[in-house]
Amino acid sequence: QKEVEQDPGPLSVPEGAIVSLNCTYSNSAFQYFMWYRQYSRKGPELLMYTYSSGNKEDGRFTAQVDKSSKYISLFIRDSQPSDSATYLCALGGDKLIFGTGTRLQVFP
């Protein structure tokens, strides 16, 4: 069983749509939950992180963690073409494990 599962997409949505990205994980030892954004031919950049169950909001982005279900989500409100990228969930403890990434395209 993989430690983290993420739907690879691709996901194509119109500008202004609400986007929901999700990951499930199997190891309850992970303590930190993160979302990274990666543009083509670039290294990933941290978008949001949290270490507890619940919601964390930052502008148009909301990260949600449910430790009991081992489920993490990222919501993007009012999506923009500039949000087009690959979004990777990441789980941290001693090691840092990434999901496969979901490729998102927002069209005008």
Partner 1 sequence: NAGVTQTPKFRILKIGQSMTLQCAQDMNHNYMYWYRQDPGMGLKLIYYSVGAGITDKGEVPNGYNVSRSTTEDFPLRLELAAPSQTSVYFCASSSLGHENTEAFFGQGTRLTVV
Residues near partner 1 (CB under 8 A) are 3, 6, 8, 32, 34, 41-46, 49, 51, 88, 90, 92-101, 103
- How many other CB atoms sit within 10 Å of the CB of residue 35? 23
Distance CA 104, CA 85 (A): 5
Cβ-proximal residues to 56 (8 Å cutoff; 6+ apart), any chain: 48, 50, 62, 63, 64
> For residue 87, what is the DSSP state?
E
- Nearest approach, Cβ of 80 to partner 1 (angstroms)? 23
Q: Which is nearer to partner 1, 34 or 104 (CB)?
A: 34
Q: Which is nearer to partner 1, 17 or 73 (CB)?
A: 73
The torsion of the CA quartet 96, 33, 88, 63, rounded to 10 degrees, works out to -170
Q: Which is nearer to partner 1, 36 or 76 (CB)?
A: 36
Cβ-proximal residues to 28 (8 Å cutoff; 6+ apart), any chain: 67, 70
Q: Which is nearer to partner 1, 17 or 22 (CB)?
A: 22
- Nearest approach, Cβ of 45 to partner 1 (angstroms)? 8
- Nearest approach, Cβ of 51 to partner 1 (angstroms)? 8
- Nearest approach, Cβ of 13 to partner 1 (angstroms)? 19
